A and B are shown apart, each in its own frame.
Chain A
Amino acid sequence: MVTEAVPVLTISGATKNFGGVRALNGASLSLFKGEIHALLGENGAGKSTLLKTLAGVHRLDSGEIILDGKVFHEGSTKLAREQGIAVIYQEPNLFPDLTLAENVFAGRQLQLNHGKFVDWAGMQSAAQELFNQLGVPLNPRSKARGLSIADQQIVEIAKALSLNAKVIVMDEPTAALSSKEVERLFTVARGLAARDAAVVFVSHRLDEVFELTTRITVMRDGATVGTGITLDLTEKDVIHMMVGREISDLYPKIVTTPGRVVLSVKELAHDGLFENISFDVHAGEIVALAGLVGSGRSEIARAIFGIDKYTHGTITMNENRLAIGSPSESMAAGIALVPEDRRQQGLFMAASIAKNVSVTVLKRLQRGFWLQSKSEERTATSWGETLELKYADITDPVERLSGGNQQKIVLAKWLATKPSLLIIDEPTRGIDVGTKAQVHRLLSDEASKGLAILMISSELPEVLGMADRILVMREGVMVQELSRSEATSEKVIAAATGAVTV
């Protein structure tokens, strides 16, 4: 491990605002040649924004990035790559119909005859050479379609190698890998560092961070909290640096006494996704499914709602067993699901607010054969008041509203069905603080009126602030159950990441 005195990359005083949200607030980072550097922080701490700036996707509002002694030109992915920065995303973006060799050289194919023709043989042997260096048995002639995520990442890393990247950023690369694939990736990462590249490793799995990296930088609220040598730090130190704040009155939780069991899940399993999942949700209770992105939480929610099938176990709603894979039966049994990706799965973007809110209750609004838009609008308007919805006209298309207001409409649409169980996936992702509090108040109100809520959230403060009970998932297994009083950030993170000592 060679560490030189002059860093290959320095970021200082980085700030970036998105609308009213401050994503970066004076963040800094310095990287040395040959090191593997962990970048840690909760969701929303600003890691992604910082990485996307390096990738050339965003441009900083202020601050300075020096790469190899020169000012880094921001705002172009192509330029970023040419300057020597490569980003390997959790789910790489390959060309499925092209060969691996073409993928490695996409947009800059090797050429013969003074640039007249594509040099297929040259690209294939160069790609083969790269794969050999990385020690992976990939065939440069085969197509990228159907490649495992681990192999897709390797293709991206081969691309980075062929570009002689000075800085290689891996953004949560291990989230979807098996333990063998993680081992292989670690070997590759160490190999990259040995060739004097600076590797940035982003992961929520602290055990991996401590196994692989040489230094750690922790971010919180858009700023850098601290940097240290991995050997000098403990998992406890790092978790403290990541959390480090009190839960504010963003979470107006009303204390309720749980009623009867509404949802009962017994020994639910699906090959390769999750296993032995058992829990109950009571009326008036908010149960949070916590865990890292990709730990199987959304998959469980989809199985309960009947979107996906499961291979083992039972799901019971109000003492009636639900059929496998039938959303309409789940809805009839009183389940409502607010999905994470609301633009795609939750809303008809071009339709009016009124139409979106009333679409789930059309039967109730029907008069004979005809629908009355007046009654649609009435329903929507009354929900609009409850939800403090901001809009110009109830007939405006939903796409004109802000993300927060769109989320409220998805909520209204499902609450209008008067469900007895609400499953909500990432209730406040990507919406501003004020609207967040409104959504939380609404959830809390509905729970106090007897609604059972199963909430999936990656935001720890939200989980701790809203939930009566917290079920922590790790890699498809439910590893811990915490009551509201015993739950702390440290405990949840430790359980979700598999850290041993806290």
Chain B
Amino acid sequence: MKIILSRLVAVREVPVFLALLLVLIVTGIANPQFVSASGAQDIFLGVAVIATLCVGQTFVITMRHIDLSVGSTAGFTAYMIGKVSGDHHGLGISLLVALAIGLLVGAVNGFLVAYLRLPSLVVTLASLWIVRGIFNQVAGGNTITDNQVPSALGYLGRHSFAYIPYIFIIAFALVLFASFIMHSSRPARDLYAMGSNPPASELAGIPVIKRTFFAFLASGAVSGLGGAILLARFHSADSNSGLGLELNVIAACVVGGVAVAGGVGTPYGALIGALLLQSITQALGALGVSQFWQLAVNGVLLISAISLDRYLTLRIKPTRILRVKS
């Protein structure tokens, strides 16, 4: 029993999942309204965009990098989808534009980090600003309104299957798919190796540069898709869309067990992390706690997550010098 328990706790996603259950149960007892279908719907809606972006971020963080540009990219693509579609082009072309923007940002990030070996924190901070700057220039003071949103996206954003919003189902499917890839494809396993021990991964003959580039490219592409979900969710977009989203995404990843030190974590863990953060935000609302406390609680949660991580990983035996007397 003890062994099973310690194995379970060793699975990184389990403590987060338990915390999520705890939040739902405690809040549900205090305010039954919270565990209703509409309460769940609120959480799912709120999490769809972040969960999508977490997929790309997990690829990047796993190899001990970070992608700060995802919020700007998602916001920009949300706007561009509306703009292109509003100009009477089809959904297909709108989505292609979104994907192209995402891939372009990802390719630039990937090139600078992988081939020029620049630090990803700085590179993606720069691209966060550059994309946001271009976005502001393109959008000006304009707003994409409901009638410019492609009708298919609008439909997905408004409707649900058994109280589960379609956009959450899409995000969930993406997370499952990415989790499978992360577990079972060789390039993805290399990402774990690269994050776990960078010099050793070079020695093991892993094509580090190529893998790094493609991970950033994937993060860019996912950000483009995230833009589509963002537009579907809010039915509008302006130059502030997606502002600061990257921080929520990174927080969800970290809380969900995707350590910024690299080498560990899964997309579904990040999804659980996102659900936990969103549930807490909404639980605090349901419990009548002031909105202002919600950010502080998220902060405490982040610190708890990394503290737990350190406790679990830092128990290494000291090297012995004295011979064991036999």
Contacts and interface: CB of A to CB of B under 8 A. Distances in A.
Interface stretch (B98-106, B136-144, B316-324): B316-324
B186 to A, nearest CB: 5
A149 interface: yes
Secondary structure class of chain A's binding surface, majority of residues: loop
Nearest to B204: A107
Contacts of B201: 95, 106-107
Interface in B180-224: 183-186, 189-190, 192-193, 195-197, 199-206
B203 A146 contact: no
B315 interface: yes
B264 interface: yes
Interface in A102-158: 102, 106-109, 111, 115-118, 120, 145-146, 148-149
Given A109-B186, A145-B316, A176-B321, 20 more contacts: A78-B205, A93-B197, A95-B196, A95-B197, A96-B263, A97-B263, A106-B201, A107-B204, A108-B205, A116-B185, A118-B184, A120-B184, A148-B317, A149-B319, A176-B319, A178-B320, A179-B323, A272-B320, A273-B322, A296-B321
A117 B206 CA distance: 17
Secondary structure class of chain B's binding surface, majority of residues: loop
A98 interface: yes
A173 interface: no
Contacts of B36: none
A274 interface: yes
A475 interface: yes
A117 B180 CA distance: 10
A293 to B, nearest CB: 11
Contacts of A107: 190, 193, 201, 204-206
B6 interface: no
Contact of B193 (A95, A115, A176, A296): A95
6 contacts: A93-B197, A95-B193, A96-B196, A102-B189, A106-B201, A149-B319
A118 B205 contact: no
A454 interface: no
Contacts of B313: 96, 145
A228 B206 CA distance: 40
Contacts of A115: 186
Given A78-B205, A95-B200, A477 B193 contact: no
Contact of B203 (A77, A149, A275, A296): A77
A118 B320 contact: no
B322 A97 contact: no
Given A93-B200, A95-B201, A179-B326, A476 B189 contact: no
Nearest to B265: A97
Given A97-B195, A107-B204, A272 B318 contact: yes
Contacts of A148: 317
Nearest to A115: B186
Given A146-B315, A148-B317, A96 B203 contact: no
Contacts, number: 102
A294 interface: yes
Contacts of B189: 98, 102, 109, 118
Nearest to B202: A77
- List the 4 shortest-distance A-B pairs measured between CB atoms, nearest first: A97-B263, A78-B205, A107-B204, A476-B322
A146 B316 contact: yes
Contacts of A146: 315-317
A299 interface: yes
B320 A273 contact: yes
Given A97-B196, A97-B264, A107-B193, A477 B322 contact: yes
A176 B322 CA distance: 9
Interface of A: 77-78, 81, 93-98, 102, 106-109, 111, 115-118, 120, 145-146, 148-149, 176, 178-180, 272-275, 294-296, 299, 475-477
A179 B205 contact: no
Contacts of B263: 95-98
B316 to A, nearest CB: 6
Nearest to B205: A78
Interface in B271-323: 313, 315-323
Contacts of A296: 321-322
B165 to A, nearest CB: 31
Contact of B324 (A94, A96, A117, A179): A179
B296 to A, nearest CB: 31
B38 to A, nearest CB: 40
A207 to B, nearest CB: 12
B200 A98 contact: no
Nearest to A110: B186
A97 B262 CA distance: 9
A157 to B, nearest CB: 16
Contacts of A149: 319
A85 to B, nearest CB: 13
Nearest to A112: B184
Instruction: Choose among B318, B319, B321, B323 the residue with the greatest number of A CB atoms under 10 Å from its CB.
Output: B321
Contact of A102 (B193, B262, B316): B193
B322 A96 contact: no
Contact of A81 (B186, B205, B322, B323): B205
Contacts of B318: 272-273
B62 to A, nearest CB: 9
Contacts of A98: 189, 192-193, 196, 263
B323 A111 contact: no
Contacts of A106: 193, 200-201, 204, 206
